[in-house]
Amino acid sequence: MTDPAVSVSPYWELTFDADGDVDGRERDRWLQEVRRRKVRDLIVFTHGWNSDRSAATRLFSQFFAPVPELAPAARLGYAGVVWPSMRFSDEPIPDFPRTAAAALAPAGASPLDKDTRHALLEVFPGRATMVEQITRLLDQQPDDEASLEEFGRLVRLLVEVRPQGPQTSFAADTLAEGVPESDPEMLFGDTSAVCGEFARALAGAGSGSAGAETFALPRLWDGALELLRQATYYAMKRRAGTVGERGLGPAIGRLAAVAPEVRVHLVGHSFGGRLVSFALRGLPPGVRTVKSVTLLQGAFSHYAFAARLPHDPRASGVLDGQYHRIDGPLVCCYSHFDSALGTVYPLASRMAGDDRSVVADFGIGRALGAQWGAMGHDGVQAVPGTRSFTLAEALRTRLPLSGCVNVDAASVVCRGGAPAGAHSDICHRELAQLVLAAGRVR
């Protein structure tokens, strides 16, 4: 049940499928062991973009490593939440080895290397034929519009599976009154137009400016890989909400029933931040055992917790008021070095249906537009009473006992190459110390 290969002990892993279901025997053993070990403070870490269990476990181990020394007297337990998510292998993680396929790919190699194709097959089981067809089109890049449209159709088929049941699809971060939620236009709009927007934006990101250049058909394929990447991320975003609300939230509720004295501290990276936030919505009524939530480069809207949006008084964040479910603070770490959230995230977010040009809205290289901002780029927005600190300030003061807290972590979250930047640069002693400070773990 515990894993001796991890840097800390006792350590457990909880594994959820895409619908938020968990292995009941694994969960029940975890509940019994947490109680038997007399754990006082349980730190639950959820990964974001990972393609397999080994990468997730390595991330958990590295992040947890400094915690025992920082809180030597605490009765700590550790849990890693594993869920079917992925990242493309060309997105490096600082201090983690790049895969051989990504590091050694020769010029002219397939845009989808072996590891990325394998990851697609893992997170979208039963779609091997679609992945093969998508790979072939990206390799060949046929010079006809019908092939590009076929590529778009295949991408839609790959990612459009929805959660079942009458609840929301967990995809939207903001909801407008009287306006039904819809899938992003990038999944159902004109493929040529969408690929053209991505190609222009990415060309602007490389040159430092984004012009109004019109690309011929061959150049539109430059945006096709980004369409696949963003459509995949959209599916992972949707899945994170499902796993959080239907899986992790109820599991914490079971723990509260079995061991009500255990203080739970949720930590989520990237879409894992969205997952632990939606877990608050899935807590059974009356459960108050979550003592802190720490978001590390959260890949969801900075308005998700807002009661009203500044640009649309009809709309609210999908998690409006959910931070009140925490018996402690919600701490949001962000960094302007995170180009995944500063540039790439709004490309897809803007394509949720707005008909304005992404290049006109953001002008790649300029500051992130307020409407489409992400938690991990500029913190929680439009929530009254939110306090803001630098990381150094947060570590030398007592954090608020409740409410939302923004922490500029750019002093340590600063390394990483294109296209994600510092998005995964989260394994730092200072951030582990911040988690302990948020939960008042001693």
Please tell me the distance from the alpha carbon of residue 198 to that of residue 347, in angstroms, as a whole number. 7
pLDDT in tens, 182-236: 556 667 778 888 888 888 776 765 444 444 445 555 578 888 988 898 888 888 8
pTM to 2 decimals?
Answer: 0.84
State the Cα–Cα distance between residues 302 and 244, nearest whole angstrom: 18
Residue 100 is predicted with a pLDDT of 39
pLDDT for the residue numbered 207: 45
Q: What is the dihedral of CA 32, 36, 40, 43, to 10 degrees?
A: -50
CB-count exposure of residue 113 (10 Å: 0-12, 13-18, 19+): buried
For 5-59, what is each residue's pLDDT tens digit?
Answer: 899 999 999 999 989 999 888 999 999 999 999 999 999 999 997 767 888 999 9
The low-confidence residues of the chain, meaning pLDDT below 70, are 1-4, 51, 89-109, 161-171, 176-186, 202, 204-218, 343-372, 419
What CA–CA distance (Å, rounded) separates 224 from 118?
A: 19
Using omega within 30 degrees of 0 as the cis cutoff, is the peptide bond preceding 419 cis?
yes
At 357 the pLDDT is 33
pLDDT for the residue numbered 346 = 63
User: Taking a C-beta distance cutoff of 8 angstroms, is the pair 248, 275 a contact?
Assistant: yes
